[in-house]
Structure 1
Amino acid sequence: MVDNGTLSIDETVNKLRGTFKSQKTKRYEWRKAQLQAMLRMMQENEDEFKESVATELWKPKLEVKMTEISTIEKSIKCALKNLKSWMKPVPVSTEITHFPSTAKIINEPLGVVLVFGAWNFPLNLCLVPLVDALAAGNCVVVKPSELAPKASATVKKLLDMYLDPEAFAVIEGGADVAEELLKRKFDHIFYTGSERVGRIIYEAAAKQLTPVTLELGGKSPAFIDESANFETTARRLLFGKHINSGQICIAADYALVTKEAMEPLRAALLDAYHQFYPKGEAAKDETTHLVHQRHTDRLLAMLNEDEKVRGELVIGGQYDRESNWIAPTVFYNTKPEAKIMQEEIFGPLLPVLPVEDLDEALQFISDRPHPLAAYIFSTNRSAIDSFSFAVSTGAVVVNHVILHFSIETLPFGGVGSSGIGRYHGKSGFETFSNGKAFLHKSARKVFDLDIVYPPVTERKAKILDVLL
């Protein structure tokens, strides 16, 4: 039996279900108190959170602050600011045949939910879904990623100190613990990670008829045309491969560039690379390292493929296998059949493929699974509109990458194989809520029209034909 402290998984889930049945998590005051406690936790323990991630993934502490801590705090503040309005029933109109009546949608919590975190942002991808689940009034089990054990231990220690122990639990462990958790009945499962594991989660949830949110990934494209501002385009593309060493589900996975834009973009990428790394090349202490050697070896197989297929090395290419580090790297004229184009890269490599025009780029993208995000670098309004209209994706971002993740008013999620469901801000609150329909019809006999009841007569049929 797997233990969570002194309680088994079954005992933990049963305890949380008992708490939920007590109705206390539905109260505004309880939800507000949990969110305030989380905010205090982030502010009072910032250094410990930074240290746990920085020492584990060799991630610069400023990057931890920017991509993890600040994003979590922003999510909490957004929920605290809007919680009362989100919780209010939403009035809706009724039809004349229901007169007099009132109708509304009541967002109620789902119950006991399970959140699986991910290793690439071990704080953010655990705690932001937790914020949404608590704001919606749920009891929550959090399972952090075992691939970031220091961050996982920190998350458990601090959440256990700050949140209501009767309504919340962190359960650590590996795949065996995840498998045990999936055998239990939850009211919602939230998972961030690979498509392969997402399918396993989905299959397990289906056996229990449990709804899921799956934040997966895929090969998110970037399209660059000749109207782009090449200086900012190059900086932002390179930034997307620098931050977290490209280990981001919404990183630009490849770039489709019009032939007229290829050489100006190359020059701008070289300039941006030297701006980012004044010593001449990226250093191991300037960028996050890769999670483990298996992942490093997978990326090195892409990096070291035959140049005729992989493409010309334009910038980067340095690596240290022992410390799981690869510099931000760009290839030019990559072939579609190259290894790097066969699966999500999830690393600091960027292949560039030339295309004739936007139409060819859109055809290339549409021939592949729906991406989690799609990026266009252009100042051509018509091209931007056509790209946004044609590409089926979780998000379209113009002239930047990744940025949309940090905006609480935008829903975050995928489509098709890149994910199911949305979170962040109000979208996250609704994901962890049941939108219960409520109708109140007058009980007065005068409004209980005989025409809707048997027996059916020709007169009743004529009246209903007009009203319906």
Structure 2
Amino acid sequence: MDQPILSSEVQDAFLEQIFQQQKQAYLKQPNPSLAERKHWLKQLKTQLLKQQAEIARTISQDFGNRSQDETRLVELLPSIMGINYALKHLKHWMQPSKRHVGLLFQPAQAYVMYQPVGVVGIVVPWNYPLFLAIGPLCQALAAGNRVMLKMSEFTPDFSAYFQKLISEIFPSDLVQVITGDAVIAQKFTTLPFDHLLFTGATSIGKHVMQAAAQNLTPVTLELGGKSPAIIGSQADLVESIQRIAFGKCVNSGQTCVAPDYVFVPETQLERFIEHYQKTVHQFYPEISDNADYTTIINDRQYQRLKQYLDDAKQKGATIVPIYEQQDAQNRSLSHCIVYGVDSSMRLMQEEIFGPILPVITYKKIEDVVDHINLHPRPLALYYFGTQQQEQQYVLTHTHSGGVCLNETLVHVGQDDMPFGGIGSSGIGHYHGYEGFLTFSHAKSVFVRPQLSFMKFIYPPYGTKVQKMIYKWFLR
């Protein structure tokens, strides 16, 4: 779907116009009712369910190929589940939270009320363009906000379609989808939003945070990093491989929480390679003309991954391609195992974001933890094994945004758990109740009745009552 090319001045004016419209609409209706918020969410859900086929088709068109089942499983399903969860719990979330008042300040009441922050900006990446738009949109609307979403220029067909879809559900002063290139994205992040959520690369996240700082805009940064998988000393190797392979194969590894590399006991390397190859072949007997096999999003990303492999090979790594065929024209990149890696290789320095799995062997779990802690904190960590002491050692001696024990990816789909990174993998979190809180201002309210004993602490100081207060409370 081709979009008209507008001058930068017109684009800037349009962004500013939409922002001001939403700001004014928020000021006129600063605290939408429960019924209004539920109505917005139900409208969104209804249209997503109606448009499943077109959503999957346009996303597949942008990728070159992505299975419609994969889009339903990893984008539509969690989006609908998130909306359902918000609808079920929103009334409770909106209730003021009663708080304790100390004896010294009685009689009084205290509570926290949750207000919409105002106008929220959401920057959506290309790898999951529906789920990573609907997730934060759902929570921002549940919190009562106005929302502007900037879609990725690397998914032009879906972005244009989603813009049209949202315009048919919501007025522009409530939700507006913005398309356009990186210049538009940069301008978008300079708007004085009341909260800005960005999902994307760590390097770009730094620039987003700098832009937001000019307006003191609070940010939630959902970044990525190199999420490790660990096959523990007593893990079921075959079962662990199936779950790791699934996590790496979904979207051809173009997932921020995909297992980036894996630690394998040194005695198990050959078995790991053998069973990993078998498992991926079971998922995809071939990759040419396979409707289930997701291709790499664009030639730039395809060439980047090829460069990682060339760099690793030149520096002494062994590459085990799982398929003989490569289809550069259609960007079907074979899954690869890479072993004999070291820190000088690009694929061990940067997030891979593709179907390449480096393997590192180890003798002691302490060596694994030391390796992880020497590098930036990852968005996810995956441990496989039933040895409780080893599990707890990994949990308590590493930092990551989230953890799965004996599984990959699925923690992201749990609506009752916060999702977010730490350090280089992100700032803040959202999903479910934590998403509602992220897009709300928790306002403290102290209520004093007509009766008050505060006058006993007013000047002049040194009274008997004040001395009694010191005696009873300064201890």
Q: What's the TM-score once normalised by structure 2's chain length?
A: 0.93
SS of equivalent residue, structure 1 residue 104: strand
Q: Give 1:320 deviation, angstroms.
A: 2.1
2:240 corresponds, among 233, 243, 263, to 233
Q: Percent of pairs identical after alignment?
A: 32
Aligned residue in 1 for 2:231: 224
Residue 457, structure 1, aligned to residue 462, structure 2: yes
Aligned residue in 1 for 2:37: 31
SS of equivalent residue, structure 1 residue 69: helix
Q: Give 1:178 deviation, angstroms.
A: 1.5
1:173 corresponds, among 170, 180, 197, to 180
2:410 corresponds, among 403, 406, 431, to 403
Residue 292, structure 1, aligned to residue 298, structure 2: yes
Residue 364, structure 1, aligned to residue 343, structure 2: no
Q: How far, CA to CA, are the matches of 2:280 and 2:50 in structure 1?
A: 36
SS of equivalent residue, structure 1 residue 354: strand
Aligned residue in 2 for 1:12: 18
Residue 389, structure 1, aligned to residue 396, structure 2: yes
Specify every segment of 5 or more residues in structure 2 that has no aligned partner in the other structure, as ranges. Answer: 1-6
Q: How far, CA to CA, are the matches of 2:10 and 2:95 in structure 1?
A: 36
CA contact (8 A) 2:83 2:138 kept: yes
SS of equivalent residue, structure 2 residue 179: coil
What is the letter of the counterpart of residue 293 of structure 1?
Answer: D
Q: Give 1:157 deviation, angstroms.
A: 0.6
In the TM superposition, 1:98-113 aligns within 5 A as 98-113=105-120
Q: Give 1:71 deviation, angstroms.
A: 1.1
Q: How far, CA to CA, are the matches of 1:201 and 1:451 in structure 2?
A: 51
Q: How far, CA to CA, are the matches of 1:329 and 1:335 in structure 2?
A: 16
Moved over 4 A (4+): 1-7, 281-284
SS of equivalent residue, structure 1 residue 156: helix
In the TM superposition, 1:256-335 aligns within 5 A as 256-278=263-285, 284-304=290-310, 305-306=312-313, 309-313=316-320, 315-316=322-323, 318-335=325-342
Aligned residue in 1 for 2:449: 442
Q: How far, CA to CA, are the matches of 1:260 and 1:461 in structure 2?
A: 73
Residue-by-residue CA offset, 1:226-285 (whole Å, 9 max, x unaligned): 311112111111112211010001111111112133233233213313322335x67654
Residue 194, structure 1, aligned to residue 205, structure 2: no
SS of equivalent residue, structure 1 residue 326: coil
SS of equivalent residue, structure 1 residue 401: coil
Q: Give 1:224 deviation, angstroms.
A: 0.9
Structure 1 residues 208, 359: CA separation in 2 closer, same or farther (over 3 Å shift)? Answer: same
Q: How far, CA to CA, are the matches of 2:9 and 2:35 in structure 1?
A: 31
Residue 138, structure 1, aligned to residue 145, structure 2: yes
CA contact (8 A) 2:30 2:116 kept: no
Q: What's the TM-score once normalised by structure 1's chain length?
A: 0.95
Structure 1 residues 269, 52: CA separation in 2 closer, same or farther (over 3 Å shift)? Answer: same
Residue 378, structure 1, aligned to residue 385, structure 2: yes
Alignment size in residue pairs: 465
Specify every segment of 5 or more residues in structure 1 that has no aligned partner in the other structure, as ranges. Answer: none
Aligned residue in 2 for 1:337: 344
Q: How far, CA to CA, are the matches of 1:394 and 1:63 in structure 2?
A: 24
In the TM superposition, 1:34-53 aligns within 5 A as 34-53=40-59
Structure 1 range deviating more: 298-307 or 247-256: 298-307
Structure 1 residues 100, 172: CA separation in 2 closer, same or farther (over 3 Å shift)? Answer: same
CA contact (8 A) 1:24 1:30 kept: no
What is the letter of the counterpart of residue 173 of structure 1?
Answer: G
Q: Give 1:314 deviation, angstroms.
A: 6.2
Q: How far, CA to CA, are the matches of 1:277 and 1:463 in structure 2?
A: 75
Residue 115, structure 1, aligned to residue 125, structure 2: no
Structure 1 range deviating more: 260-269 or 94-103: 260-269
SS of equivalent residue, structure 1 residue 320: coil
Q: How far, CA to CA, are the matches of 1:153 and 1:205 in structure 2?
A: 26
Q: Give 1:356 deviation, angstroms.
A: 1.2
Residue 412, structure 1, aligned to residue 428, structure 2: no
SS of equivalent residue, structure 1 residue 121: coil
Q: Give 1:306 deviation, angstroms.
A: 2.0
SS of equivalent residue, structure 2 residue 329: helix
Q: Give 1:135 deviation, angstroms.
A: 0.5
SS of equivalent residue, structure 2 residue 121: strand
Aligned residue in 1 for 2:3: none
